[in-house]
Amino acid sequence: MADEIKPETTPEEPVDAPEPVEPAEQAEEAEEGAKDEPSQIDYRAELALEKARSEKLQREIADRDFKLREARRKQEEEGEIPEDAPLTEGRLKDILATERQATQKEVQSVQIRDIAGKLASTPEEAALIVEIHKNRQFPESLSLQEQLEEAHAIANRKKFASRNSELARALRSKDTALHDTASTYRDVPAAAEPKIAQADVQAMKEAGMSWDGKQRLYSKKLPSGKFLYFDPKTKKRFTR
């Protein structure tokens, strides 16, 4: 039996794996997409933006603290300040307030997620509210509910701004329509001269009377200042 001839096979070409997308690039893409339709918020995209802002802020804080420590170390080496020099009162208050709020947010994490879930309409919106709350400092006089309500307002600021703009446009359109309606009501359209016998028309003209389309009467100003009117429907003359 003849040897079976097997078709030649070519090695499969390796498929390139998709390149990882950096958080900053995700944030930029999300920001571009969010501009298209402000009344419909992409909460996932907004969450990516918020996380990117948080990461940037943390890097800036870490870099600032590193520079402060380096400057302090150099001052200590040169004997300009003692090693155990106390922090300024203002700086100490800032540090304590930041740490206190961070600790409270950790302890209250379950309650925070519960309140955010009640304020939000979707899980993605709730996640964005939690992230915004985590990255913001709030006055200590505000309750946790009030803090999350502010975070909710921040998360939906574009939607609220769009709705306010639409409402303002609707009110302006309503005012314009009412104004136009009132103007139309006041401005009675002038009527065309009625079709009457040519002899009557000639008599009106010879008497010096002319057609008043708004009043729908023939009129003539008299020497006394009054007007003489003729009603073509009733065939009556009168002055006023």
Whether residues 91 and 203 fall in one domain = no
Copy the structure tokens of residue 189: 């359209």
Whole-prediction pTM value?
0.45
In contact, 128 and 30? CB cutoff 8 Å: no
Final residue belonging to a domain, choices 162, 185, 206: 162
Residue 83: inside a domain, yes or no? yes
Whether residues 145 and 226 fall in one domain = no
Whether residues 68 and 139 fall in one domain = yes
Final residue belonging to a domain, choices 105, 136, 162: 162
pLDDT 10s digit of each residue in the chain, 240 long? 444 444 444 444 444 444 544 545 555 555 554 444 455 789 999 999 988 988 887 888 788 878 877 877 777 777 665 555 555 666 666 666 677 767 777 778 889 999 999 999 999 999 999 999 988 888 888 899 999 999 999 999 888 888 888 888 888 887 776 666 555 555 556 777 777 777 777 777 778 888 888 888 888 888 888 888 888 888 788 888
Q: What is the pLDDT of residue 187?
A: 54
Q: What is the pLDDT of residue 126?
A: 94
Residue 107: inside a domain, yes or no? yes
Place of tokens 């300009």: 80
Whether residues 150 and 60 fall in one domain = yes
Residue 11: inside a domain, yes or no? no
Phi, psi (degrees; rounded to nearest 5) at 140: -65, -15
Residue 181: inside a domain, yes or no? no
Residue 10: inside a domain, yes or no? no
Residue 17: inside a domain, yes or no? no
Whether residues 133 and 42 fall in one domain = yes
Q: Which residues of 208-225 are buried (b: 16+ CB within 10 A; e: fewer)?
A: ebebbeeebbbbbeeeee
Q: What is the pLDDT of residue 14?
A: 44
Whether residues 156 and 206 fall in one domain = no
Whether residues 210 and 156 fall in one domain = no
User: Which domain, by its residues, includes 55?
Assistant: 23-162
Whether residues 214 and 130 fall in one domain = no
Whether residues 212 and 154 fall in one domain = no
Residue 169: inside a domain, yes or no? no
How many whole angstroms separate alpha carbon 130 and alpha carbon 125?
9
Whether residues 42 and 98 fall in one domain = yes
Q: How many domains, the chain?
A: 2
Q: What is the pLDDT of residue 222?
A: 84
Residue 79: inside a domain, yes or no? yes
Whether residues 63 and 135 fall in one domain = yes
